[in-house]
Amino acid sequence: MSLDAPRIAALVYGRREPASALMERFAARLRARGRRVAGLVEADLEADACLHGDMALRDLSSGAVVSICQDLGSGATGCRVDPRGLADAAARLAAALAEAPDCVIVNKFGKLEAEGAGLAAEIGACVAAGIPLVIGVPERFRAAWDAFAGGLDTPLACEEAALETWWLSVSPETERAG
List pLDDT tens digits, range 124-154: 999 999 999 999 999 999 999 999 999 999 9
Nearest to 146 by CA among 168, 107, 114: 114
Cβ 143 vs Cβ 108: under 8 Å? no
Task: Provide the CA 94 distance to its chain's centre, in angstroms.
Answer: 13
Q: 96 with 41: CB under 8 angstroms? A: no
Q: pLDDT tens for residues 57-77?
A: 999 999 999 888 766 566 655
By the 8 A CB rule, do 102 and 36 touch?
Answer: yes
pLDDT for res 48:
44
The C-alpha atoms of residue 67 and residue 71 are separated, in whole angstroms, by 11
CATH of 8-173, one of 3.40.50.300, 3.40.50.2000, 3.40.50.720, 3.40.140.10: 3.40.50.300
Torsion angle defined by CA atoms of residues 142, 146, 147 and 149, in that order, rounded to the nearest 10 degrees: 130
**CA–CA distance, 126 with 100 (Å, rounded to integer):** 9
Task: Kindly report, residue by residue over 75-91, the tens digit of the pLDDT.
Answer: 655 556 777 888 899 99
